[in-house]
Amino acid sequence: KADLPVYTLHEVSEHSTKEKRIWVTYKEGVYDITDFVTEHPGGDQILLAAGSSVEPFWLLYAVHNNPHVLQILETLRIGNVSKEDSQQLVADMSDPYSTDPQRHAALKPASVKPFNAETPPFLLVEQFITPNELFYVRNHLPVPQVDPETYELEVEVEGRKKCLVLTLDEIKKLPRHTITATIMCAGNRRSEMVKVKPVKGLNWGAAAVGTATWTGVRLRDVLIKLGVDEDDKKLKHVQFEGLDFDPTGKTYGASVPLWKAMSKRGDVILAYEMNGEAIPRDHGFPIRVIVPGVVGARNVKWLGRIVVSENESDSHWQQNDYKGFSPSTDWDTVDFTKSPAIQELPVISAICKPSEGEKVKVEDGHIVVKGYAWSGGGQKIARVDVTADGGSTWFVANLDHQDSAEPPQHWSWTLWSARIPIPSGTKQVELWAKAVDSCYNTQPETFKNIWNLRGVLSNAYHRIKIKLV
Ligand code: HEM
Ligand code: MTE
């Protein structure tokens, strides 16, 4: 194998069609699978890896965990992955995004610069944990290049001299803590709200969400080390600054209330691992704060500085974005000082399989519907209801995968499925799903009355139309 040619990940990515030949990577190997596609026992799905790595899919489909599969793959080997490749090292000064990492081809971008992309929805329900390479990405700015050897995290209390400066090694020496948490963008499912009336924002489907295990140190431990007293009446917020910045030098920032950061049960961590690996560059390498139960926007990536303060972060994203408003508020009347910054997200669910417009085979008079449900603030999903007849009959879904943690520390989603009877001869149905959380909060029926100008908190019943065969 050593004498085979070396290819960059970029070169591999250019081979994603039959005409150009279909290449994939597995560990350090490059493979031409064009002629194997029609023989693949798993069918066309193999094309999801075209131009990229097969590894995240093999985490989802364990049938590949078999020497026989690797034998087939080795017969298709054409080269090796270039070592320097995982990051483009030469920056193009005219393009601040030129040093962004290579992404998996299955992540379909909603915007490229900055990079924003969601997971194909049906893959979300294959497994409780979302593989790192398929986890949705929400970046506002270019991905910073951080050298782990020289990285330092500053932690301070506003107006006080004493401050902590921690290297990555020093952070890793503090007691480790692992949690499983779902992270969701405030704009998840915005594309459905838009149908009521246009909004400003990326057109997210239902997959701007994912679940991972996160390992790091408790923020509480670091703040206690700094001498923060949680009963100090003056200190109310913990501000986070990212190392990503805009052309004027302003960094991404957000804050959370001090009580959450200091609470033993809050589980806020400074994470350095995602699903057992160093956090990938797109998700905040080397350190990101995980604020479980709280909107994605406060889970600041590439963390550079933490400030305990009387005030919330003054960043654009805390003050003038990620807030909810009345359906009658428009861009002429909106006053961002009048709404609180979103923290805990409301209960939500979505159908991930089948997808809108899909032809579904009725078997034994039934179809199977799968999806996720989640609620912010550490609430657990108590029930998911699904209807195929506009709510005349509701079927209670089976909660297939649910973490055993009790509320208010239930940070992860629930994967559910429902077997829905279909009267014979039915040609198409509209499926609706809604979830109920452990506070008995449930989803609103329609988007009309929760519409808001930024298209956030888009959690009405999920509805999809499918065809039956
Ligand atoms: C099944 C090979 C990529 C999805 C299989 C099986 C083989 C195979 C040999 C049958 C395993 C068994 O039953 O023992 C390969 C090779 C790949 C590849 C050599 C390298 C390019 C993928 C990708 C996906 C995928 C990228 C998904 C995105 C599946 C599924 C099955 C399967 C869903 C199960 C089919 C069933 O049991 O009905 N694959 N596969 N495979 N593969 Fe792949
Ligand atoms: N942190 C920094 N530094 N810069 C960002 O652009 N985006 C936020 C948050 N943290 C962001 C950030 C938003 S809006 C979301 S939804 C999540 O990161 C997305 O996390 P992910 O890309 O790991 O899925």
- Cα 40 to the center of its chain, rounded Å: 30
Q: Whose CA is nearest to atom 11 of ligand 2?
A: 139
3-state SS class at 80: strand
Query: Which residues sit with their C-beta closer than 6 Å to ligand 1?
Result: 24, 33, 40-42, 45-46, 48-49, 54, 57, 61, 63-64, 66, 69, 72-73
Question: Is domain 348-468 given the CATH code 1.20.120.1200 in the classification?
Answer: no
**Residue 160: active-site member:** no
Domain 152-338 - what CATH class?
alpha beta
**Would the pLDDT of 186 be above 80?**
yes
Q: Give 366-409 pLDDT, tens digit per residue.
A: 999 999 999 999 999 999 999 999 999 999 999 999 999 999 99
Least distant ligand from the CA of 115: 2
Least distant ligand from the CA of 275: 2
Looking at residue 403, what is its pLDDT? 97
**Would the pLDDT of 444 be above 90?**
yes
Residue 1 — very low, low, confident or very high, per pLDDT cuts 50/70/90? confident
Question: Is domain 6-82 given the CATH code 3.30.70.1290 in the classification?
Answer: no
Q: Is there a cis peptide before residue 247, judged by omega within 30 degrees of 0?
A: no
**Residue 177: active-site member:** no
Q: Give 114-127 pLDDT, tens digit per residue.
A: 999 999 999 999 99
In angstroms, the Cα distances linking 210 to 152, 223, 227, 355, 381 are 28, 28, 34, 18, 16
CA of 349 to the centre of ligand 2 (A): 21
- Among residues 379, 436, 440, which one has the least CA distance to residue 407? 379
Alpha carbon dihedral 117, 122, 126, 127, in 10-degree steps, equals: 30
43: left (phi over 0), alpha (psi -120 to 50) or beta: left
Q: Which of 15, 103, 104, 138 is catalytic?
A: 138
**Residue 185: active-site member:** yes
**Would the pLDDT of 311 be above 60?**
yes
Q: Which residues contact 350 (CB under 8 A, 6 or more apart)?
A: 121, 189, 206, 207, 371, 372, 373, 433, 462
Q: Give 205-257 pLDDT, tens digit per residue.
A: 999 999 999 999 999 999 999 999 989 999 999 999 999 999 899 999 999 99
CA of 299 to the centre of ligand 2 (A): 6
Query: What is the token pair recorded at 14?
Result: 């250019």
Q: CB–CB of 397/385 below 8 Å?
A: yes
CA of 40 to the centre of ligand 1 (A): 6
Q: d(Cα 115, Cα 306) in Å, to the nearest integer?
A: 25
Least distant ligand from the CA of 251: 2
Q: Is there a cis peptide before residue 114, judged by omega within 30 degrees of 0?
A: yes
Residue 449 — very low, low, confident or very high, per pLDDT cuts 50/70/90? very high
pLDDT (mean) for 445-457:
97
The structure tokens 């559910």 sit at 416
- Mean of all residue pLDDT scores within the chain: 96
- Among residues 306, 159, 310, which one has the least CA distance to residue 233? 310
Q: CB–CB of 443/399 below 8 Å?
A: no
DSSP class of residue 397? P
Determine how many CB atoms are found less than 10 A away from the CB of residue 163. Answer: 13
Q: Whose CA is nearest to atom 22 of ligand 1?
A: 46
Q: CB–CB of 356/466 below 8 Å?
A: yes
pLDDT (mean) for 144-166:
96
**Would the pLDDT of 363 be above 80?**
yes
Q: Give 58-117 pLDDT, tens digit per residue.
A: 999 999 999 999 999 999 999 999 987 555 556 677 899 999 999 999 998 999 999 999
CA of 310 to the centre of ligand 1 (A): 55
Query: What is the token pair recorded at 345?
Result: 């997200």
Looking at residue 90, what is its pLDDT? 62
Name residue 306's beta-bridge partners.
Answer: 155, 240
Q: Which of 15, 26, 31, 64 is catalytic?
A: 64
Alpha carbon dihedral 420, 425, 429, 435, in 10-degree steps, equals: -10
Query: What is the token pair recorded at 280?
Result: 């990938």
Handedness of CA 217, 219, 220, 224 (dihedral sign): positive
Q: Whose CA is nearest to atom 12 of ligand 1?
A: 63
The full DSSP string for 118-163 is E--HHHHTT-SSPPGGGS-EE-SSPPP---TTT-EEEEEETT-S-E
Looking at residue 108, what is its pLDDT? 86
Helices marked H in 40-156:
55-60, 67-75, 121-124
Q: Which of 7, 103, 104, 185 is catalytic?
A: 185
Best substitution site from 27, 32, 46, 57 to test ligand 1's pocket, by max atoms within 8 Å of Cβ? 46
Query: Which ipTM value was assigned to this complex?
Result: 0.93
* Bridge-based pairing state of the strands 359-360 and 269-274: unpaired
The domains of the chain are located at 6-82, 152-338, 348-468
Residue 2 — very low, low, confident or very high, per pLDDT cuts 50/70/90? confident
Q: Which atom of ligand 2 is nearest to the CA of 243?
A: 3
Q: Is there a cis peptide before residue 408, judged by omega within 30 degrees of 0?
A: yes
**Residue 10: active-site member:** no
Q: Which residues contact 238 (CB under 8 A, 6 or more apart)?
A: 219, 223, 255, 256, 257, 258, 261, 306, 307, 308, 309
Name residue 278's beta-bridge partners.
Answer: 273
Best substitution site from 240, 256, 301 to test ligand 2's pocket, by max atoms within 8 Å of Cβ? 301
3-state SS class at 14: coil
Amino acid at 64: H
